[in-house]
Amino acid sequence: MWRFYKRKQISVLSFLLYRLFFFSYPMRPFYTRLLSLAAVTATAWSTAYADLGFFAQSQLDQWPISSKSQDPIPVVKEPIQAQQFRVLKNDRVKDYAVRVKETTSCEEGVQYSGYIDNFQTDDHLFFWFFESRSSPDTDPVVLWLNGGPGCSSMMGAWMELGPCLVDKSGNSTVRNEHSWNSVANVIFLDQPVNVGYSYGKSKVRDSKQSANDVAAFLQLFFGEFPEYSDNPFHISGESYGGHYLPSLATEIIRRNKEADRGHIHIPFESMLIGNGWTEPRTQLRHYETYSCATDSEYKPIFDEQECEKMRNTYPRCEKLMSACYRFPSPLTCVPANFYCEKTQQENFGATGLNPYDIRKNCTGDSGLCYDEIDAIGKYANNPEVRWELGVDEKAGEYSGCSDSVGYRFALTGDGARDFSKHVAETLHENIRVLLYVGDMDWICNWFGNLAWSLKMEWSGKEGYGQALEKPWYNKNTMEKAGEVRNHENLTFLRVFDAGHMVPYDQPENALDFFSRWLENESLSEK
């Protein structure tokens, strides 16, 4: 998810110092720049910063949203610590252990939930693993990460692609016939620390730190579950996953090259990014082109006056983003984030529409635009559910997205940084990359995603740019489900009639492309 925190107000002093910063830097003396940074940083705490996963009209009036409480949730059975956990340790990854238990749910197959414990930092990452419904011994292993930054992957499990979806009452779940574990072993991981059911003392502030923690998790997971360590491995996610996943891919590749130093070699095959936030400078440009187009019955979203305003303010946005790209730091990236969100994104709130699906209005009480998110929050905090999953009492109350994690990322300007270079590096290592994008999403729209993929510098750039867009048909229904562009190991898939969360809107079609992708089968053939 890609969330935005609405700025309630900016003091005159903060605004003047903010302007002083990006008009005068670096010609002003050091103390002036320091004051400017302080003003910008203070502003960032109350500005419209996001989590590519959930932005809503109600968030424009309610700030902050659903902060994660640290109050313990009452349990109805014996304490978590007394449950029958297996505690696993590995000499290759010292100072870590795995607490794991077999769980039950509406899914009949084998499943494990638990924590990866880091005793050095006192951090604990929660995971939930489901074996494949088909051939778990040989089927691929797929890691799923929701976005944010700071949104729980349990939303992906319970709302999109997991085997059990929370019903509208928030009291129970129903079997998902189109779950991605129909053809793969799937891991849902709550990260960074203090997201979802995860908890700890660390303060992860950017995507690189996140990647280091997730890469350590994978070393532990495959060390403790060696029966899956030779299966093909894929990383997947959506929204701010466009930052998380490319950074993680780089880290997996690096560790694989150091396997002789004690790292477990992971058979890394591909990366799948759904409606990602990857290359902000280009994607910001295409809020106007997407919103002001007339290519569907739901557009244009803005009138010509608003479209003209976006066009006129983008050059300054581009200039600030370029400075962030050249010299990535809070000094350059926080102001870029602030100005570009203010001029290119903030206007959407007045429409009352759902930024993740322009066909719908923003609903729900959580500020995340979907009633299902409220139901998931209710279900996730049910004491019986928490006990069954082995959720530690120290985790506190479950919240779909953590404000504190989002704020920390905002203060480093991580959201404004370019991660397409990591995608290019992944392609250069002969890892396949799929960019799939629902065409009804506004916040990470397909115009912007296609544009940055065409601009990306890599060895196949020319061929990819010349590739024709071909129809994609669901093999089971034979209905046209989208359009695909492919060259070498890069594929772009536009998914028709889907919003930000493709498996939620098009579950059958999502399973079709997912299954075929895992088999390295062309999506342009019937």
How many residues can be counted in the chain? 526
- CA dist 169 and 161 (Å) reads 19
Amino acid at 377: G
Contacts of residue 73, defined as CB under 8 A and 6 or more positions apart, other chains included, come to 381, 383, 386, 391, 393, 395, 396, 397, 398
Torsion sign (Cα): 214, 215, 217, 221: positive
The residue with tokens 């046209």 is 480
| Per annotation, catalytic residue among 190, 441, 505, 512 | 441
Contacts of residue 20, defined as CB under 8 A and 6 or more positions apart, other chains included, come to 28, 32, 36
Please indicate whether residue 239 is annotated as part of the active site: yes
Q: How many C-beta atoms surround the C-beta of residue 137 within 10 A?
A: 12
Per-residue DSSP letter, 419: -
Contacts of residue 411, defined as CB under 8 A and 6 or more positions apart, other chains included, come to 41, 44, 45, 205, 330, 334
DSSP string, 291-359: HT--SSTT---S-HHHHHHHHHHHHHHHHHHHHHHHS-SHHHHHHHHHHHHHHHTGGGGGG-EETTEEE
- CA dist 153 and 194 (Å) reads 12
Helix H, strand E, coil C: the string for 256-310 is: HHCHHHCCCCCCEEEEEEECCCCCHHHHHHHHHHHHCCCCCCCCCCCCHHHHHHH
Please indicate whether residue 414 is annotated as part of the active site: no
Contacts of residue 494, defined as CB under 8 A and 6 or more positions apart, other chains included, come to 437, 439, 446, 450, 469, 482, 483, 484
Per-residue DSSP letter, 481: E
Q: Checking DSSP bridges between strand 480-487 and strand 268-274, what pairing results, if any?
A: unpaired
For residue 348, give the nearest of 334, 336, 358 by alpha carbon.
Answer: 358
Please indicate whether residue 58 is annotated as part of the active site: no
- CA dist 380 and 402 (Å) reads 14
| Per annotation, catalytic residue among 270, 418, 500, 512 | 500
Instruction: Give the chain's radius of gyration (CA, Å).
Output: 22
Amino acid at 120: Q
Residue 215 token pair: 């890469």
In contact, 132 and 181? CB cutoff 8 Å:
yes
Per-residue DSSP letter, 159: I
| Per annotation, catalytic residue among 132, 239, 247, 453 | 239
In contact, 438 and 446? CB cutoff 8 Å:
yes
**Residues with a known catalytic role:** 239, 441, 500
